[in-house]
Structure 1
Amino acid sequence: MEASLKNKRYKKIIVSSPTNTTIQRCYACKNVCNSSQPSAEARFFCRWCKSECVSVVTSRTTPYLCSTCHNVSIPTLGQEKSREVCGICSQVKKIGTKFFKHGYPDNRNKIGTLLSREAPSSMALSSSSSSFPGRHSKRAVLCGVSYTKMKFKLKGTVNDANNMRELLIKNFKFPNECIRVLTEQEKNADLIPTKHNIMESLRWLVKDCQAGDSLVFYFSGHGLQQPDFKEDEIDGFDEALCPVDFIKEGMIIDNDINSTIVWPLKSGVTLHAIVDACHSGTILDLLYVYNLERNIWEDNKPPSKEPIRKHTSGGVAICLSACEDSQSANDSTVFGGKGMNGVLTYLLTKAIREHPQITYGALLDKLQIEIKKINRSRCRSSILQRIFHRKIVQDPLLSSSEKFDVSTKIFAL
């Protein structure tokens, strides 16, 4: 659906639906709204920001994009008048079609949102495939890379992404339409976890972020290290994530992740990165790393002559990694249920569901305790189990753009 919108710039986009809905552009405000023939005007209050709106409605399920908060509401039928009203700026004039093509890229979000709400289920975009959902204070990008056509494929990453998505929706009230999931099972080519698609999604994640926004980047897949040529790493190695096409297109280096989603964070914006991958300890290149044994924040600045930027533009970035930079992360079937799961992802989501008000420090302790329990149970298992199930050696690592008290700060996304 989205590809057809890119290549064809018709005056109208008609969706075959029971209400014969037509998406048009207003001559005055140049925004996209719904109308139909015959049309009716309805006044109602946006269910998000409570501001009064005027919309052309044809049924009790016609969506309206609020001009104040940019969220979608469902109006109810009121007094009907035989005139067309722009659903965005409420101009009572006929919608001009010649202006439709102007500013087209800026309004793809409104088109995608309206189509996904109004079109029949067979035509509607899925919530995770909507490229530009409506404006919300919570937004997330979840990547589960399986490498299905390669020898080093992973079996639990899709389970991990689905597990994290469920946690965000149920425990942290993330709107479904504001979660973008990238896996190799997606039918939309833009949601395959290639290097290009992941980087585009990261840019989408932080675009136009505002004070009060909560952003989440989650990755489950392979992680690697490579020599550091910029002298901005204490250990001399850059950490990197492996997209599905990394052999051809290359890895996503921590420097690029830092400049893409850490630098743009404005004051009042909070970003959480949860990375279930090998060698992912300092994958966001943040200023401070928490030493759990000594209970202190340690400086992550390298002794470089060149000024190294590891800070935000006023916001806060926090990263929880599956292991230290020198360690490997694991996925396992030890947890039961269907298929495999990443150790960090499974234990993290389990701990939060059981302890909704858990602090960062308590969460780190809980993760380490659970990993030790798994290893002890394997030591008591049979010889065959010990042969085929290796010991889990990974220490989850917390890093941040600024110091905070991990013993009192509640883990919240």
Structure 2
Amino acid sequence: MMSNANVSTPASAHADTDDHGGRRVTKRADSLATHLAGNKKAVLVGITYQGGAPYPPLMGAGNDVRNMNTLLGNYFGFGAIEVLVDDYVQDGSDALQRCPVWPTRQNILAAIDWLVQGAKAGDSLVFFYSGHGGRVQDFSQDELDGFDEAIVPWDAWQNGFLVDDDLHRALIAPLPKGVRLTVLIDACHSGTVLDLPFVYQFRSGAAQPELFTSTRPSTDQHPDDDGDYENKADVIALTSCRDDQTSADTRVESLGGTASGAMTYALLQSMFDGNGQRKANVTYWDLLVQMRAAMKKGGLDQVPQLAVGRVLDLNTPFAL
């Protein structure tokens, strides 16, 4: 994530053109697990790189986690939420300070292990990350563009990035059929940071996004009836930009200059009306298009992405 720009409230729908890759996929969408009557668990990671981390500081990452914590707890009924941030308020006003866990590589992996442990059909899991993202050479030869995408833990200069192979192995591969995992990544180079098999992209002049393969199959993916490889669980990832783009850490004019990741702000704005009420029946299509509109209105080049583990009907209402 990079620090620049201001973001305004989303404008009318706008679809930016993607630089698509991979093979176009034409198939009927599978049904998502419709009865999310199981456990609700979330891991929220926000890294400002304070306290000695040798990376440019990000002012909005901690705010992003606090906003997502409120969203999940107050509007979606999540009670089991693990928080990893490095900018806790110390005056007693921030409830999150009661469970501080530093966002190191080891701690992030431990939180992911807690998230997926014992997952079963009907469970709803959320993984949220706001921080720096990066790209490194792909040595496993599963990337179409030759690069692995990564998130940057607070101690990455000592213990390394968490690349897409790591995240897929820890977060995606263990999940059984019937689990829904929603991943929200506000970071640079994040489009395929989970190595999910499919990504929705816009081509010039297209009224609807088209589906493309995004990586070579991973070992936990299996072929469906059409021969396309997919994950067992329902995995849906909204990310802040394409793999070749950077993502903005910004200040929101309409909120008095509050620091925020541009993608996180756009996501939240897309889910609520002007009176602060949650919109009913917002679909994945609505979120993707309105988030892209917010970036364009804010003068940002980044293009939010939607990747999935199994083919998704974009008219499905967003649910956690």
* AA of the residue aligned to 1:266: P
Query: What are the superposed Cα offsets for residues 208-249 of structure 1, whole Å, 9 maximum, x if unpaired?
Result: 001110000000000000000111000000001000000001
* 2:303 aligned to which of 385, 391, 395: 395
Q: What residue in structure 2 maps to residue 339 of structure 1?
A: 258
How far did 1:337 drift? 3.1
User: Residues 194 and 243 of structure 1 are in contact (CA less than 8 Å); yes or no, is this contact kept in structure 2?
Assistant: yes
Look up the match of 2:82.
180
Mapping of residues 44-193 of structure 1, within 5 Å:
137-148=39-50, 149=52, 150=54, 152-175=56-79, 178-185=80-87, 191-193=101-103
Instruction: State whether structure 2 residue 318 is matched by structure 1 residue 404.
Output: no
Greater mean alpha carbon deviation, residues 221-230 or residues 353-362: 353-362
Aligned to 2:140: 230
Deviations, residues 126-147 of structure 1 (Å, cap 9, x unaligned): xxxxxxxxxx610000000010
8 Å Cα contact 1:319/1:399 also seen in 2: yes
- Stretch of structure 1 that moved more, 263-272 or 354-363: 354-363
In structure 2, the residue matched to 1:212 is 122
d(CA) in 1 for partners of 2:76, 2:184: 15
Please give the per-residue CA displacement for 1:132-182, whole angstroms capped at 9, x wherever unaligned: xxxx6100000000101345111110000001111111221112xx01110
Is this contact kept in 2: 1:209–1:266, CA < 8 A?
yes
State the AA in 2 paired with 1:409: T
Q: 1:310 to 1:346 in 2, by over 3 A?
A: farther
Q: CA deviation at 1:404?
A: 1.6
1:264-283 aligned within 5 A: 264-283=174-193
Amino acid at match of 2:174: P
| Counterpart-to-counterpart distance in 1, 2:178 and 2:69 | 24
CA gap 1:322/1:313 in 2 versus in 1, 3 angstroms: closer
Q: Compute the displacement of 1:189 (Å).
A: 8.9
Cα displacement string for residues 100-134 of structure 1 (whole angstroms, at most 9, x for unaligned residues): xxxxxxxxxxxxxxxxxxxxxxxxxxxxxxxxxxx
> Counterparts of 1:290 and 1:313 in 2: how far apart (Å)?
16
CA contact (8 A) 2:252 2:258 kept: no
3-state SS of paired residue (1:191): coil
Paired residue for 1:292, among 190, 202, 208?
202
SS at match of 2:272: helix
How far residue 188 of structure 1 moved from its aligned partner, in angstroms, is 7.6
CA RMSD of aligned residues (A): 2.0
Offset of residue 310 of structure 1:
5.9
Q: 1:244 to 1:165 in 2, by over 3 A?
A: same
- Does the 8 A contact of 1:215 with 1:272 survive in 2? yes
**Bigger Rg, which one:** 1
Where do 4+ consecutive residues of structure 1 move more than 4 Å?
Answer: 186-190
SS in 1 for 2:196: coil
Q: Distance in 2 between matches of 1:313 and 1:301?
A: 13
Q: How does 1:30-45 map to 2 (within 5 A)?
A: none
8 A contact 1:222–1:277 mirrored in 2: yes
2-side partners of 1:159 and 1:359: how far apart? 25
- Distance, in Å, in 2 between the alignment partners of 1:369 and 1:168 is 24
Give the TM-score normalised by the residue count of structure 1: 0.59
- The one-letter code of the counterpart of 2:48 is S
Q: Which runs of 5+ in 1 are unaligned?
A: 1-135, 376-391
CA distance in 1, matches of 2:48, 2:237: 22
Alignment of 1:353-372 (within 5 A): 353-354=272-273, 355-372=279-296
Separation (CA, whole Å) in 2 of partners of 1:357 and 1:141: 25
In structure 1, C-alpha distance between the alignment counterparts of 2:98 and 2:157, rounded to whole Å? 22
Aligned length in residues: 256
Q: SS state of the match for residue 162, structure 1?
A: helix
Pick closer, same or farther for the CA change 1:155–1:269 going to 2, 3 Å: same
- For normalisation by structure 2, the TM-score amounts to 0.76
Q: What is the letter of the counterpart of residue 197 of structure 1?
A: N
Gaps of 5+ in 2: 1-37, 89-96, 222-229, 274-278
Which residue of the other structure, out of 242, 247, 259, is the alignment partner of 2:169? 259
In 2, Cα distance between the equivalents of 1:310 and 1:275?
22
Q: How many angstroms does 1:370 deviate by?
A: 1.6
CA distance in 2, matches of 1:195, 1:251: 8
Spell out, residue by residue over 1:282-305, the C-alpha distance to the aligned partner (whole angstroms, 9 max, x if none). Answer: 011001000134421111233xxx
Deviation at 1:334, TM superposition (A): 3.2
Contact 2:231–2:310 (CA<8 Å) still a contact in 1?
Answer: no
Show the counterpart of 1:10. Answer: none
